[in-house]
Amino acid sequence: MQKIIKQFPVLSQYTYVNTATSGLLYDGLLDWRQEHDLDFLIGGSKMKMKGHLLISETRNSIGKFFGCKANNVALVPNFSIGLNLLLEGMEATRNVLLLEGDYPSVNWPFETRECVTYYLKVTDALEENIYDRIKKDNINVLALSLVQWLNGIKVDLEFLRNLKKDFPDLVIIADGTQFLGTEVFNFEDSGIDVLGASSYKWLLGGYGNGFLMFAEDTHSKFKCRSTGFNAADGDMEAKEKISFAKQFEPGHLDTFNFGSLNYSLGFLSDIGMDNIAEQIKKLSIKAKGELENLGMLEEFVVKRKEHSSIFNIPGDKELYAKLMEHDVVCAQRGNGIRLSFHFYNTENEIDKIMGILKRS
């Protein structure tokens, strides 16, 4: 792992515990990007005319990485655009259950449309409460982030799988931006109908690329109207033959951005998602235990059986400045300070942070 960590120059200068804000650029991806742009510089449109091959390869890589058929993958600039395109095809009469304090790009698109929205407070009994509210309020759509951006609460994936079995007509829409890239995941076995993500955090894909994955029958639940020449793969005769996933790709897709995602999926695969998941889990358990001992975690976070590697601790601008003074890169989120640990972090870095917190 140390050899891999050396690919990230930022880590030689800082204790970077801010992947929940932005994943890092690394040497291998920088080299690929420079080669990509050099090819464009020399080849011009000749290079770009072959771009569809890289876009198709990226779609296939996403499908293979997350267990989803490639023709059920839509490439989008980011999760927010993808969700809004999807909801343009949603019936206005849906009863939608949202989580209080979820990422604004998850909740706001529902709030601005003519659906009926219900809200659930995030507690240690999150899954049980979701189940009860779905029964009580005749919920048609459950929309949530798999990992909460403010405090790192992670929904039980087995619960979602069983929820879909108990409520087969329920449409589950999930944001995986703070989850995908942290553990092994198979979309087709998840029970989720639509899972999207922006790729610039845990997937290390850089900015300007994201994707949506659709369950097989999702097309029958939405009437999306977006279209364009790219959706038909530049075929004048294919206007009426555009697939559901391709409706989310009406215009051209940037080979630089999506090629970056494709490269990073290969990078993560070479490391091994099992190895990445093991390292993140080890860091999460250590950080949670240390922060709990310091009394810096909310009670409902402590009570959860399993947590992500994102933590929010109480702290003002003074503590934030203290951490930054010691080269700890983190973020002020909500009412506290958010720490997030990826595979390139170490237990020694956790010890360093705990030392700062104890002295503050």
pLDDT averaged over 10-residue windows placed end to end, the chain, 360 residues? 92 98 99 97 90 96 99 99 97 92 98 95 98 97 99 98 98 99 98 99 99 98 96 94 97 97 99 98 99 98 97 97 98 97 98 96
Do 171 and 248 lie in one domain? The reply is yes
Do 138 and 177 lie in one domain? The reply is yes
Do 62 and 83 lie in one domain? The reply is yes
Do 262 and 282 lie in one domain? The reply is no
Do 184 and 76 lie in one domain? The reply is yes
Do 16 and 40 lie in one domain? The reply is no
AA letter at 110:
F
Predicted local distance difference test score (pLDDT) of residue 349: 98
AA letter at 88:
E
Residue 127: both structure tokens together: 């899954």
Predicted local distance difference test score (pLDDT) of residue 254: 96
Do 12 and 88 lie in one domain? The reply is no
CA dist 350 and 4 (Å) reads: 19
Largest Cα span, the chain: 69
CATH code of the domain covering residue 6? 3.90.1150.10
Do 39 and 185 lie in one domain? The reply is yes
Q: Residue 120 belongs to what domain range?
A: 34-270
Predicted local distance difference test score (pLDDT) of residue 104: 99
**Residue 334 has what DSSP assignment?**
T
- Among 213, 237, 270, identify where a domain stops: 270
- Among 270, 293, 322, identify where a domain stops: 270
CATH code of the domain covering residue 48? 3.40.640.10
Predicted local distance difference test score (pLDDT) of residue 93: 83
Residue 117: both structure tokens together: 């929205």
Strands 331-333 and 336-340: antiparallel
**Structural domains in the chain (count):** 2
Closest CA to 177 of 140, 214, 142, 152: 152
- Among 270, 297, 322, identify where a domain stops: 270
Do 242 and 342 lie in one domain? The reply is no
Do 67 and 215 lie in one domain? The reply is yes
